Chains A and B, each alone.
Chain A
Amino acid sequence: EVQLLESGGGLVQPGGSLRLSCAVSGFTFTRYAMSWVRQAPGKGLEWVSTISSSGSDTYYTDSVKGRFTISRDNSKSTVYLQMNSLRAEDTAVYYCASGFRPMTSLSSLEYWGQGTLVTVSS
């Protein structure tokens, strides 16, 4: 059974930092790109970041460039999202998701975690 389990969300003050983790099991993690997608309360989906299967390529939406860093540890089947300089507008449920096609970042997202809530507020 495929499982993606996010953790690390919570309440943080503006300007603060959080690190999200997503532990994966049930498929060959090293073959698939991984992504983070967020959803603000009552809003639609917003793609945040993607990392290639090897970790050599990373992609970010403009609003988080320079503040968020995606990484992965293939030995632990885990993907991370380091979030710095957090703003109120970063408040959302953050989902991790795996690519559908192996060995490419250009792929739809097949498996999703249940999400972790990040709230940025003073």
Chain B
Amino acid sequence: EIVLTQSPGTLSLSPGERVTLSCRASQSVSTSYLAWYQQKPGQPPRLLIYDASSRATGFPDRFSGSGSGTDFTLTISRLEPEDFAVYYCQYCGGSPFTFGGGTRVEIK
């Protein structure tokens, strides 16, 4: 079973700042099977990044994903007010299709 560890748990930042979120896998993961989701309060998650680095429909290019092996990163180049949310990574290469614990990006 692949375990995904996200860090930090919470980030307190100001609009305009650059943010880097980490997702570390307990064993090597193909980039084809690493996804990121954004979730805002009271809403379902939205697919943000698939295949570790491909942006899903509707998200601007300030969002980017990178990484390989066991270390993956979600970067928001310049935080906008609508980006404050919780971000989850997910392994989707086989059962169990585990999620990381999430990183909350909150307004400082």
In the complex, are the beta carbons of A50 and B45 less than 8 A apart? Answer: no
Q: Tell me the complex Cα distance, A106–B91, Å.
A: 9
Q: Which 3 A-B pairs have the closest CB atoms?
A: A108-B35, A112-B44, A59-B95
Q: Quick one: which of B47, B95, B98, B102 contacts A108, CB cutoff 8 A?
A: B47
In the bound complex, residues from chain B placing their C-beta under 8 Å from that of A103 are none
A45-B97 CB under 8 A given contacts A100-B50, A112-B46: no
Q: List the B residue with the shortest CB-CB distance to A60.
A: B95
| Min CB–CB distance B51 → chain A (angstroms) | 8
**How many chain-B residues does the 8 Å CB contact rule pick out?**
25
Interface: B93 (CB within 8 A): yes
* A95 CB-CB contact with B under 8 Å: yes
Total chain A interface residues with beta-carbon distance under 8 A = 23
Question: Can you list 23 residue pairs at the A/B interface with Cβ under 8 Å?
Answer: A35-B97, A37-B99, A44-B86, A44-B99, A44-B100, A45-B90, A46-B99, A47-B90, A47-B96, A47-B97, A50-B95, A50-B97, A59-B96, A97-B44, A106-B92, A108-B35, A108-B50, A108-B90, A109-B45, A109-B47, A109-B92, A112-B46, A114-B44
